[in-house]
Chains A and B, each alone.
With several copies, the nearest count.
Chain A
Amino acid sequence: MPTFRVTIMLKPGVLDAPGQAVEHGLRALAYQVDRVRMGKVVELTVPEAMRAKVGEMCERFLANPLIETWRIDELETVS
């Protein structure tokens, strides 16, 4: 069965408060960072028949199109 990694990030322009917090945290630990963005990953293993539906799953459920963008990568199935 194919496995997909869906990476969901906030749209540019939408305030990424968690990302900013992580940025502060890293600076507090004396690391220099220019920019941090936080996002989610969903790894989906689905029956072959569902392959074509993954985009729809993101659109309808996994992401919130109002504030989020997503990207779908298929992972090489380790069988």
Chain B
Amino acid sequence: MNWGVVVFPGSNCDRDCVHVLRAVLGHDVLEVWHADSTLDGVDALVLPGGFSYGDYLRSGAIAATAAVMPAVRRFAASGGPVLGICNGFQILTEAGLLPGTLMRNAGLRFRCVPVWVRVESAQTPFTAGLVPGTVLQMPIAHGDGGYLAPPDEIAQLEATGRVVFRYCDASGRPTEAANPNGSVNGIAGVAGVQGNVVGLMPHPERASEALLGSADGRRLFESVAGWLAAHRRAPRMAEGVA
């Protein structure tokens, strides 16, 4: 299948995502420049982590104004799978493609540590291949990761299975201590209304090879091909397009 990885000025996990999708998973990858206006040929899209535009003003706020964003909106509206990782998650909330916002970590510090998250919903392209309750280990590395949304919005998300990942301990219990940044309900990742747009703070691309300590993150990327097939958005390669 054909992935698109958007490169914003200041993205710094774009190359890591390309490495995992291309070298580890053997998929085709198109690097999408922030100034591009189309996503032709892309089956699934990744907004990578980093510090787009220095994260000045608010994390992700300026990238949300980038020229490529209208195309990202159209792609999302047409049901295309979109994954926002870390800064990518922040950009999606700033762009209004995902609800809520990401506040400064409760501890006020940037934190780079491995965490565990529990898969709460399999109703997304990135978790379709996973069983709810599955515990994944992935690292976080962010300063603004505290998920916040109005209480009614949170209730909605919880009720409609749009909380996709929740911080937990190694055994899957969502404890206070396991919440690294003060996110409401320990929310680590959420989905949009249609479920095809997902954002999360942990870095699956940093947990896609056992050599780096965990290969759990790879399962998010692996889920997508099956989901695409099931949703009859045949991967590009199947259509014989190189």
A–B touching in complex (CB under 8 Å) = yes
Interface residues of A, Cβ cutoff 8 Å to B:
14-15, 17-18, 21-22, 24-25, 28-29, 38, 40, 61-62, 64, 66-67
Residues of A contacting B65 in the complex (Cβ-Cβ under 8 angstroms): 25, 28-29, 61
A25-B148 contact in complex given A64-B101, A66-B100, A67-B101, C-beta closer than 8 Å? no
A38-B56 contact in complex given A15-B103, A17-B106, C-beta closer than 8 Å? yes
Residues of A contacting B105 in the complex (Cβ-Cβ under 8 angstroms): 17
How far, in angstroms, from A63 to B67 measured CA to CA in the complex? Answer: 20
Interface residues of B, Cβ cutoff 8 Å to A:
53-54, 56-58, 61-62, 65-67, 94, 100-101, 103-106, 108, 148-150, 182
Whether the Cβ atoms of A25 and B103 lie closer than 8 Å is: no
Whether the Cβ atoms of A66 and B150 lie closer than 8 Å is: yes
A67-B56 contact in complex given A18-B104, A28-B66, A61-B65, C-beta closer than 8 Å? no
How far, in angstroms, from A24 to B104 measured CA to CA in the complex? Answer: 17
Whether the Cβ atoms of B57 and A21 lie closer than 8 Å is: yes
Whether the Cβ atoms of A18 and B101 lie closer than 8 Å is: no
How far, in angstroms, from A14 to B149 measured CA to CA in the complex? Answer: 10
How far, in angstroms, from A75 to B57 measured CA to CA in the complex? Answer: 21
- Within the complex, which residue of A14, A21, A29, A64 is in contact with B56, where a contact is CB–CB below 8 Å? A21
